[in-house]
Amino acid sequence: EAPDLVIAEPQFHFDSNSWAIPSTEAEYRRGIRALRSYLDRLSATDQPSARFFARADNLNNWLADLETRLGSLSRVLGESVGKASVSDSVAQMNVDDPLAEEADGERVKTPWTKIDDAFYEARGTGWALLHIFRAVEVDFRKVLNDKNAMASVKQIIIELEGTQRPMWSPVVLNGSGFGIMANHSLTMAAYLSRASAAISDMRDLLSRG
C-alpha cells in the first residue's frame, strides 16, 4: 500500500466540527498534500515509484463502501418530511398474547435546523463523485468494457449530474411530500437513490467471471 495514501485517507475522515488544534481544514490540507505526492510519484516520467492497479475487485470493493454511503445520505434526505419507524418495542411484542398493549411506532424526522446541512452535504458528495466517476470511466475503461459495465458508469454519471442542477430558490425548500411547495431534499434523494441502484448493477457486473 502506498504510504502517501495511508496518510491521506484518514485525513479526509477527520471530524468536520473541529475548529482548532487541529482544525478540520488543516487536516484536509495535509491529506491533499499526501495525494499530490502520490500523483507526482505515479506520473514520474523516468521511473514511477508509485503504482495504480485498475482491477475489477479493487473497484468493486470501493463501490460497496460507496453504496452504503449513498444509502445513508438518501435516508437522511428522505427524513426531511418525517417518516414512521417501527420501534424496538413493536418488534419485541408477544403476538400470541391478545391482552398485550399495542406499542406505538416512532416518527423520525430531520430537525429543520439540519435540513440545509444534509442537502448541501449530499450535493457536495454528488459533485465529488461526479468527477471521480468521470475518472473511473477513463482509468478502468478496459475493465468496464470487458465486464459490460460501461453503460452503468454512464448512467451513474447522468444521475450525479442531476445533483448539480442549478437551484433557482435562494433557500432549501422543504415542502411536504405531496404539498404545493418543492422539497429539494427529496429531489436530491431521488438522484442519489438512482445512482445507488446503478452502482448496485455495476457491482453485479464486475463480480461476474
Q: Which pLDDT belongs to residue 2?
A: 86
Is residue 136, in this structure, part of any structural domain at all? Answer: yes
Alpha-carbon gap, residue 200 to 60, rounded angstroms: 10
Clarify whether residues 70 and 162 are in a common domain.
yes
How many other CB atoms are there within 10 angstroms of residue 197's CB atom?
Answer: 16
Evaluate whether 106 touches 87 at the Cβ level (below 8 Å).
yes
Q: Which pLDDT belongs to residue 96?
A: 62
Clarify whether residues 150 and 118 are in a common domain.
yes
Residue-wise pLDDT for 113-156, tens only, equals: 899 999 999 999 999 999 999 999 999 999 999 999 999 999 99
Clarify whether residues 71 and 120 are in a common domain.
yes
Is residue 97, in this structure, part of any structural domain at all? Answer: no
Number of domains, the chain: 2
Is residue 89, in this structure, part of any structural domain at all? Answer: no
> What is the mean predicted confidence (pLDDT) over 159-170?
95
Alpha-carbon gap, residue 56 to 147, rounded angstroms: 9
> What is the mean predicted confidence (pLDDT) over 43-66?
89
Domain interval for residue 63: 54-82+111-207
Q: Which pLDDT belongs to residue 47?
A: 74
Residue 183 bridge partners (DSSP)? 174
Alpha-carbon gap, residue 80 to 59, rounded angstroms: 32
Residue-wise pLDDT for 169-186, tens only, equals: 999 998 886 778 899 999
Is residue 106, in this structure, part of any structural domain at all? Answer: no
> What is the mean predicted confidence (pLDDT) over 67-75?
94
Alpha-carbon gap, residue 103 to 87, rounded angstroms: 8
| Percent above pLDDT 70 for the chain | 87
How many other CB atoms are there within 10 angstroms of residue 90's CB atom?
Answer: 13
Residue-wise pLDDT for 81-120, tens only, equals: 876 666 555 556 555 665 555 555 567 788 888 999 999 9
